[in-house]
Amino acid sequence: MEEGGLRCHNCGSENTLRFGKMGAFWGCTNYPSCPRCRTAGLKAVPSKNK
C-alpha cells in the first residue's frame, strides 16, 4: 500500500493505493465505515505462473 496524499471525496480521510484482482485503486483508509474508492488507471497483469 502506498499513500498518495489524496483525500476521500466522501468522508475526507486519506486514500491509500491498493492492488486488487481488477487492478490498482485508491481506497479510503476509513474502510469499511466508508466504502468509497477510485480507480488508479492501472490494469492488473495476468500471472504467468500456472
Domain presence at residue 50: no
Range of the domain at 24: 2-39
Q: Give residue 42's pLDDT band: very low, low, confident or very high (50, 70, 90).
A: low
Instruction: Please state, in angstroms and rounded to a whole number, the distance separating the CA atoms of residues 20 and 1.
Output: 11
Looking at this protein, which amino acid is placed at residue 15? N
**C-beta separation of 20 from 28 below 8 A:** no
Instruction: Please state, in angstroms and rounded to a whole number, the distance separating the CA atoms of residues 4 and 37.
Output: 13
Res. 3: pLDDT tops 70: no
Domain presence at residue 22: yes
Q: How many domains does the chain have?
A: 1
pLDDT tens per residue, range 9-32: 888 888 888 888 878 888 888 888
**C-beta separation of 48 from 27 below 8 A:** no
Domain presence at residue 10: yes
